[in-house]
Amino acid sequence: MAFEQSTLLNHLGTSYTTQVVERLRDFAYLPQGPIDALRRTALPEAWGNDNFLLEKYLAVHVPWAIEQAQFTTSENQLYMRAGHLQTRYGSPIYLVFEENLNPHRQPYCLILASSSISTNDTGTLNDPGNLPGEPRIPRAEPIPVGAQIEMRDDHIIENTPERIPFLESTPIVSRICAIAGAIQWALNLNLQLPYWYSGRMNYLVPLYLTSREDIMAAPDAVAPLQLINDRLIVRTILKPHSSYPNARVAVKRHDELSHWMQAVWQAHASEVRGDEDEGG
Q: Is the dihedral of CA 129, 95, 257, 64 positive or negative?
A: positive
Which pLDDT score is estimated for 168?
A: 76
Of 187, 179, 206, 186, which is closest to residue 143 (Cα–Cα)?
A: 187
Rounded CA-CA distance 54/246 in Å is: 11
Which pLDDT score is estimated for 159?
A: 61
Which pLDDT score is estimated for 124?
A: 41
The pair phi, psi for residue 186, each rounded to 5°, is -65, -40
pLDDT in tens, the chain (280 residues): 689 999 999 999 888 777 899 999 999 999 999 999 999 999 999 998 889 999 999 999 999 999 999 999 988 999 999 999 999 999 999 999 999 988 889 999 999 999 988 665 444 444 555 789 999 999 999 998 888 998 876 656 666 667 777 777 778 888 888 889 999 999 999 999 999 987 889 999 999 999 988 989 999 999 999 998 889 999 888 999 999 999 999 999 999 999 999 999 999 888 877 654 444 3
Of 139, 134, 145, which is closest to residue 90 (Cα–Cα)?
A: 134
Rounded CA-CA distance 120/125 in Å is: 8
Rounded CA-CA distance 238/202 in Å is: 15
CB of 62 within 8 A of CB of 80? Answer: yes
